[in-house]
Amino acid sequence: MRKVNLLILLIFSSYPAFTFGETNDDRLRQAFVQFQAGQYDEAASNFEKAARSSESAAAAQVGLARVLIEQGRYKDAETACKKALAISPLDPDAHCVFGHVLRLTGRYDEARTNYRRVVDQQPAHLEARLHFGKMLWQWGEKQQARQVLQHFIAFYKQHPNLTAAELNFVAQACVYLERVRDANNLFHEATKTQPDLWQAYVPWGELMLSKYNVPDAQGIFQDALKANPNCAAAHLGMAKSFRPSSFERAILLAEKALAINPNLIGAHDFLADLKITIGKSEDALEDLNRALEVDPKSVSTRALRAVTFYFLHNDQKFKEEEAKILAINPKFGGLYFQIAEVLARRYLFRESVDFYRKAIALDPGHWAAVAGLGTSLSRLGKEDEAKQELERAFARDPFSKYVGNLLRLFDEFPEYKTHKTKYLTLRIHQKDDAVLSGYARHLADRTLGDLLQKYEIDADEEIILEIFPSHDDFAVRCFGIPGAQAFLGICFGNLVAMDSPRARSKGDFVWGETLAHELVHVTHLRLTANRIPRWLAEGIAVYETTKAHPYWSMNLDLPFINSFQNDRTLPLNDLDSGFNRPSNPGQVTLSYFQASLIVEFIVQRYGREKLLATFPKFKDGLKTPQVIEAVFGKDIDEFDQEFGTYVKGKYRFDQVDYHFYPHELADSSGDPEVKLLEQLEDRHNNPFLNFRLGLYYKKEKRYDEAITYLLKARELFPEFVQKENPYKALFEVYMEIG
């Protein structure tokens, strides 16, 4: 997600490190060491054995409970806590750890009571105080929470030689007190004092994630895993850090966390959130139901259920979930924040603005929601309102790289020139203005004029085109952070942002094609209210751009044919995954090409009116299988079969042999001409063998024979336009013979 909800993250973070008094029981001491190293089974065994000693029984049961919590064995942990309290009814550690169990299983009132009991009896018990303050904060009682947590600041000032565990507690309190610099310094000091303190690395890494500092977050989580390879919360933190760059890796890491702790609510929530993002709402519900079996009152889980029902257009279920959440926590702005985040990720910025505002109304201090509101407003082209909200968020959270980067970029906008054309407003940096703006305006107006007429769209809404001389500035405009080298341009709806030619190395991309491609997106995003699936959006953009400018074709016919004949192309219902979760480096570009062929098939087989008929269906929220059935009168599997038949006809699979095996000709012995002629006796309709023989004759200056075979190769496969191709070879032959 763009903005990590720090409060939700900390609810499910690993428990703070604990100290224990001197004991003569070596087994107990060994158990604590094993626990800290992540050797949970060994630690549990030793704690159980140590519990048989009357001297250390209570401490051993508390230690055992901590181990069991890390493994997600909450019922067993509760039993251990109760045994400890039976031995020592006033033991503050036992009450505190029991509070953890109660909190993790949804018994929030009892958990708060336990934490409060410890704090009242022993005000300096930092672990219980921290969790009590956190729960107050999460339930919207922020003034009282600050009073409870402010104790940590006084404690730090009064005690100059704190242990690593104590520094960790103070650091976590500082996060809630919005003393981010202090928190960062204290986490650093704690882990420097005790390098194996994984309980400090986890909240520290989560803090970095919340500020969009992914590299530091990953390094910190790695340090946690060095200390404790079985720290489920650290694996989950790593999963979150990889979400922007690799869905597959994020999923694997979250699943690894669940292998250690099957009841880790945050991991179930995370996997569900990923599935919601890619439109697999029904699958997400399965993850969320598993989480609710552990904690029926998990507001983060129920918020995601509400999101799921919202996108499934199940208003009754959504309202039921909304009521349950607000009954549990009347000030939980995370409900509307979650919905807003998913809406924004789906480019539904107008709708996201409404939900960000609802989140802020419920929780005025939800600075991530304020930042999200500013971001969505900026993508609607409302820079003044956006900047106001972003500045408000940055004033309270000045360490957010995302917000800081956007504000810096907006501060540089006075260096950009603005031009009005017939169809859009162009914003271009002064260093590019003289050279590029004329071409950009001409190409944009010509492209938009044709598209608006073709798709019967009124030119009444303002379209903004922004061209950035620095790729990092473009990336900040789109993602809040530099990088994202795979992207050249992005269309948010009526706002298009893109690299200028100077933002990339010479020859990296065809700038005019990128501009035309992004402007195509303006049309179908408007007609579907930004609800078009990725496959159709990219398919139309490639199709229309190539139709208008054939020399901008992707020229991926050969790789596509190879994939199609080897059953490696994706069915339509899964085609979006080729963009969002590619299984190999070439799958993204091949998915663009396949999608464009599907659009070509629709137009040629059914007519453009059928393509246009899909737009209102998607606008109403229908999914691809439903739209295919409604518009084309067949299920999606039948549609796939028809498309397959179209592909076979387009590339004349019954007349052309596209198979070529270089190893068949790899043997250097013998005459190449003889080998190729032998191959062509049985495979005369193979364009590649004809091409190879034509090249051989060209090399031997037997030009008449070369022309014969090169023409045959071109006739068999007109789309044969790789680096070495029949067109180039024929040109060179004709030049030789004059």
71 and 141 part of one domain: yes
Q: Which pLDDT score is estimated for 706?
A: 94
Question: What are the tokens at 66?
Answer: 């901590």
DSSP letters, 665-726, are: G---SS-HHHHHHHHHHH-TT-HHHHHHHHHHHHHTT-HHHHHHHHHHHHHH-TT--SSS-H
Q: Which pLDDT score is estimated for 280?
A: 84
Q: Which pLDDT score is estimated for 3?
A: 32
Q: Which pLDDT score is estimated for 669?
A: 56
pLDDT band at 670 (very low <50, low <70, confident <90, very high): low
Average pLDDT of the segment spanning 347-358: 95
507 and 478 part of one domain: yes
In a domain, 339, yes or no: no
Give residue 133's domain range.
6-228
pLDDT band at 661 (very low <50, low <70, confident <90, very high): low
Average pLDDT of the segment spanning 568-587: 88
Question: What are the tokens at 504?
Answer: 């990339």
Residue that wins the pLDDT comparison between 143 and 485 = 143
Residue 509 contacts by C-beta under 8 Å, 6 or more apart in sequence?
Answer: 488, 499
CATH number of the domain residue 476 falls in: 3.40.30.160
Distances 245 to 86, 113, 177, 483, 694 between C-alpha atoms, Å: 50, 42, 31, 11, 45
Give the tens place of pLDDT for each residue, 722-738.
888 999 999 999 999 97
In a domain, 102, yes or no: yes
Q: Which pLDDT score is estimated for 564?
A: 95
549 and 503 part of one domain: no
In a domain, 654, yes or no: no
Q: Which pLDDT score is estimated for 664?
A: 55
Average pLDDT of the segment spanning 603-609: 95
Return contacts of 41-45, CB within 8 angstroms, 24+ apart. 43/67, 44/68
Give the tens place of pLDDT for each residue, 237-293.
999 999 988 888 999 999 999 999 999 999 999 999 999 888 788 899 999 999 999
Average pLDDT of the segment spanning 700-724: 92
> Is the model's pLDDT at 665 over the cut of 60?
no
**Percentage of the chain lying above the pLDDT 90 cut:** 80
Q: Which pLDDT score is estimated for 606?
A: 97
Q: Which pLDDT score is estimated for 407?
A: 95
Give the tens place of pLDDT for each residue, 26-72.
889 999 999 999 999 999 999 999 998 877 899 999 999 999 999 99
> Is the model's pLDDT at 9 over the cut of 50?
no
Distances 194 to 165, 171, 401 between C-alpha atoms, Å: 9, 14, 29
507 and 538 part of one domain: no
Q: Within 10 A of 185 (CB to CB), how many other CB atoms are there?
A: 14
Domain end: 485, 505, 522, which one? 522
Average pLDDT of the segment spanning 445-459: 90
194 and 46 part of one domain: yes
461 and 591 part of one domain: no
476 and 625 part of one domain: no
CATH number of the domain residue 13 falls in: 1.25.40.10
Domain end: 228, 260, 280, which one? 228
pLDDT band at 2 (very low <50, low <70, confident <90, very high): very low
> Is the model's pLDDT at 13 over the cut of 90?
no
Task: Spell out a b/e string for 602-637, using b for 16 or more CB atoms within 10 Å of the CB, else e.
Answer: bbeeeeeeebebbbebbeeebbbeebbbebbeeebe
Domain end: 196, 228, 260, which one? 228
In a domain, 52, yes or no: yes
In a domain, 235, yes or no: no
446 and 593 part of one domain: no
Query: By three-state DSSP, how is residue 495 classified?
Result: strand
Contact 502, 433 (CB under 8 A): no
Distances 2 to 209, 375, 414, 479 between C-alpha atoms, Å: 10, 10, 27, 8
Q: Within 10 A of 588 (CB to CB), how many other CB atoms are there?
A: 15
Q: Which pLDDT score is estimated for 387?
A: 95
pLDDT mean across residues, the chain? 91
Alpha carbon distance 389, 602 (integer Å): 44
426 and 574 part of one domain: no
Alpha carbon distance 540, 521 (integer Å): 8
Q: Is 59 exposed, middle or buried (0-12, 13-18, 19+ CB in 10 A)?
A: buried
In a domain, 197, yes or no: yes
734: Cα separation from own chain's centroid: 53
Q: DSSP secondary-structure letter at 419?
A: E
Average pLDDT of the segment spanning 101-129: 96
447 and 476 part of one domain: yes
Query: By three-state DSSP, how is residue 363 classified?
Result: coil
In a domain, 307, yes or no: no
> Is the model's pLDDT at 123 over the cut of 80?
yes
> Is the model's pLDDT at 153 over the cut of 70?
yes
Q: Which pLDDT score is estimated for 662?
A: 58
Q: Is 680 exposed, middle or buried (0-12, 13-18, 19+ CB in 10 A)?
A: middle
441 and 505 part of one domain: yes
693 and 572 part of one domain: no
The number of distinct structural domains making up the chain is: 4
Question: What are the tokens at 106?
Answer: 């949804």
In a domain, 715, yes or no: yes
> Is the model's pLDDT at 525 over the cut of 70?
yes
In one letter, which amino acid is 24? Answer: N
Q: Which pLDDT score is estimated for 172?
A: 97
